[in-house]
Amino acid sequence: MNRRRKFLKKTLLGSSAALFVPAALWTRPRGILGANDRIRVGLIGCNGMGFTNLSVFMSQPGIEVAALCDVDSRVLDRREAEIVEAGRKKPARYTDYRKLLDQEDIDMVIIGTPDHWHCLQLVHALQAGKDVYCEKPVANSIQEADQMLKAVRASDRMVQIGQWQRSEPHFEAAISYVHSGALGNIRMVKTWAYQGWMTPIPVVPDGPAPEGVDYAMWLGPAVQRPFNQNRFHFNFRWFWEYAGGLMTDWGVHLVDYALYGMKATEPRSVMATGGKFAYPDDASETPDTLQAVYEFDDFTLLWEHATGIDGGNYGRNHGVAFIGNNGTLVLDRGGWEVIPEVEHESWRMLSDQPKIEAMPLQPSENTGLGRHTENFLKAVRTRDASILRAPMEVGYHAARVCHMGNVAFKKGNKVIWDTGKGTFADPEANALSRVQYHNGWKLE
């Protein structure tokens, strides 16, 4: 148990989610459950959030790690050693996820691979009869998101998307305040991510893949091209073939809460502008500076991101702001507060009181990821999909809206969304919302 606690603490501190995982998870007892309550887990994609998710699952009672899959044997070696160090049985290991899915004793899988793999792996996992915890964004295109939603709805499997803020108590409290109507008519919502830690990605030449890396499996359905270290592991996020940049990386979290607060799912139009203004000559493809404006029926939504800058709106490097006639609610991972609308002379003629009272910062409990995991496992054990806090529909709507912003950026002009057909009015924009698979892989 001491080795297990040490392992979990070390793993979570080394992950991007560490600040949001409570220390109590490191010491929670494993518990004794019957064979029918045990859940055998397979992890596909063992770097970054994939292994962070597995680590949090391991803190729950009745979880057994059955298998690991990664295209990089060095990653497999490291993760296998850490699991054994934690006092766990050595799991099976694979470089081809399809072989992991063939392992019949696996009950659920965690998908922590690059975005361009999510669609195929989730569909194949459902076909193999596995429950799925899939990292966000759900897909790397609107077309793939559509296919994934159809597959989930046609299945009886439990599927949770890794938008763990849906399980964070202070986010829920903030949205309850928004829904109370106290802010008055909300006409604008702002979402943003300013990421000062992001530095330029130096241009490096192509070369051979590192020993022990199955590069063909890493590429999968993406365009065949020589190996380049810049496109591998973490930095895949900044290349269109594998991901959608900060818009889909941070955007799905924050845009999701904007949609949740406004009880909306899709806009009527979107326009976007930006570019590589901070680091114009680095190796990345996705814009380091971007603003996207979405038009809904009775409000507008603004997304903006900037790399190399931390000075975001309201003094926060990320967040959501619901701007109403009576005041503004500002929400981020650290907490939420309400800022009353400033008093104008015309107001004083009617009342000496502000329209609403200020709400001081309501801090986060930082328990979202653990609660999200517990929620999923409860759904798995009870077979009740209605209790899921981030079912496929949540991930679907957030990813689709974020991809619309990227389509508008690539198109270079305002694009109209047909809410009835679920497509753009512009054929070129529709083409940008689809994806072409390569290397023998097919979109089911």
Provide DSSP, 228-278: -GGGSGGGGGGSTTT--HHHHHTHHHHHHHHHHHHT----SEEEEEEES-S
Terminal-to-terminal C-alpha distance of the chain: 44
Instruction: Dig out the tokens for 267 from the structure.
Output: 């806009």
Give the number of other CB atoms < 10 A from CB of residue 342.
Answer: 9
- Tell me what pLDDT residue 36 has: 65
Averaged confidence pLDDT in the chain: 92
Say if residues 391 and 385 touch (Cβ distance below 8 Å): yes
Question: Which residues belong to CATH 3.30.360.10 in the chain?
Answer: 168-364+397-432
CB of 114 within 8 A of CB of 97?
Answer: no
* CA quadruple 194, 390, 150, 94: dihedral sign: positive
pLDDT, tens only, 309-366: 999 999 999 999 999 999 999 999 999 999 998 766 666 555 556 679 999 999 999 9
Exposure string for 168-206, b = 16+ CB within 10 A, e = fewer: bebbeebbebbeeebbeebeebbbbbbbeebebbeeeee
Kindly tell me if the per-residue pLDDT of 54 is higher than 50: yes
Task: Provide the residue type at 35 as one letter.
Answer: A
Name the CATH code of domain 168-364+397-432 (choices 2.40.10.10, 3.40.50.10490, 3.40.800.10, 3.30.360.10). Answer: 3.30.360.10
CB 141 within 8 A of CB 433: yes
- List, by residue range, all CATH 3.40.50.720 domains of the chain: 2-166+369-393
Topology of domain 2-166+369-393 in CATH is Rossmann fold (3.40.50)
According to DSSP, the β-strands at 423-424 and 415-418 are antiparallel
Look at the pTM and tell me if it is higher than 0.85. Answer: yes
Under the banding of pLDDT at 50, 70 and 90, the label for residue 129 is very high
